[in-house]
Amino acid sequence: MTSAVLLDIEGTTTSLSFVHDTLFPYAAAHLADFVRAHRDDPEVARLLADARVYAGADLDDETLIQRLLAWIAADQKITPLKALQGLIWKDGYARGDFHGHIYPDVAPTLRLWHAAGLRLYVFSSGSEQAQKLLFAHTPDGDLTALFSGHFDTRIGGKKDAASYRRIADEIGVPSEQILFLSDRPEELDAAAQTRMATAAVLREGVHGPFGSHRTVPDFTTLTPHID
């Protein structure tokens, strides 16, 4: 019996093109001006300090901006970078520059699962704030109330089994009662090492191979009790 569902975002609830063609370019285009305007804000100053630690050098602001842009271009999963991107996207959502994309089956199915008593969680390399912003600004309305919690790279890497053990411990649900949904075989393999149930969601452009992992075309083929 499944008690909780753990969701990947990119390629699972949300199209890869939205992340790579809308969110990433938006953050890259606005990062320099954002850092210059907000570098003295306590939260931004802390994130810039963390980025300097990660870079291994006490870079000046302009050099650090170029390093951050290079990390974006390389799709680096760096925690302070992801948090800065989340702050930039927050401004973009507030201005109505874009809305959070989700696949048409996601909102009705999540509502069904939530009503059935399943606890819903997100695990994404995007910051916790970025996750909440995306689900707060969907064409189907604000979905944030459906979720019991969010996890980002502060809990660990998505290809590391220890991350999934930490998530199970933090939410207080045995791994065997958690279903993890993703489009990445390496992430599914890591979750399966902790005895989580797994399913690969075959959105457009996702072909596997997924080995022993269950595959589904979308969320609608999974029942509320997830047998």
Residue with tokens 């390399």: 125
**One pLDDT digit (tens) per residue for the chain, 227 residues:** 899 999 999 999 999 899 889 999 999 999 999 999 999 999 999 999 999 999 999 999 999 999 999 999 998 989 999 999 999 999 999 999 999 999 999 999 999 999 999 999 999 998 899 999 999 999 999 999 999 999 999 999 999 999 999 999 999 999 999 999 999 999 999 999 999 999 999 998 777 799 999 999 999 999 766 65
**Shared-domain flag, residues 117 and 69:** no
Q: Are strands 147-151 and 4-7 parallel, antiparallel or unpaired?
A: unpaired
Give a yes or no: residue 202 inside a domain: yes
| Phi then psi dihedrals of residue 39, to 5 deg | -60, -20
Contact 108, 70 (CB under 8 A): no
Give a yes or no: residue 105 inside a domain: yes
**Shared-domain flag, residues 130 and 212:** yes
The SS3 call for residue 4 is strand
**Shared-domain flag, residues 177 and 65:** no
Cis bond before residue 209 (omega within 30° of 0): yes
Give a yes or no: residue 160 inside a domain: yes
Query: CA-based Rg of the chain, rounded to a whole angstrom?
Result: 18
**Shared-domain flag, residues 109 and 171:** yes
Q: Are strands 4-7 and 214-216 parallel, antiparallel or unpaired?
A: unpaired
**Shared-domain flag, residues 58 and 35:** yes
**Whole-number Å distance between alpha carbons of 185 and 65:** 33
Contact 196, 179 (CB under 8 A): yes
Domain residues for the domain of 183 are 4-15+100-221
pLDDT score recorded for residue 208: 76
**Shared-domain flag, residues 66 and 154:** no
Give a yes or no: residue 174 inside a domain: yes
Give a yes or no: residue 209 inside a domain: yes
Give a yes or no: residue 29 inside a domain: yes
Q: Which of 72, 95, 118 is the last residue of a domain?
A: 95
Q: Which of 40, 74, 95 is the last residue of a domain?
A: 95
Q: Which of 95, 112, 129 is the last residue of a domain?
A: 95
**Shared-domain flag, residues 137 and 195:** yes
**Shared-domain flag, residues 11 and 30:** no
| Tokens describing residue 224 | 């509320």
> Pick from 49, 46, 69: which is nearest to 57 by CA?
49
**Shared-domain flag, residues 44 and 67:** yes
Give a yes or no: residue 77 inside a domain: yes
**Shared-domain flag, residues 50 and 158:** no
**Shared-domain flag, residues 78 and 105:** no
Other Cβ atoms closer than 10 A to 114: 18
**Whole-number Å distance between alpha carbons of 119 and 115:** 10
CATH code of 71's domain: 1.10.720.60
- Domains of the chain: total: 2
CATH code of 110's domain: 3.40.50.1000
Residue type, 19: V
pLDDT score recorded for residue 206: 79
For residue 187, the number of C-alpha atoms closer than 13 Å in the C-beta half-sphere is: 23
Give a yes or no: residue 226 inside a domain: no
**Shared-domain flag, residues 125 and 90:** no
Contact 187, 153 (CB under 8 A): no
pLDDT score recorded for residue 6: 98
pLDDT score recorded for residue 77: 87
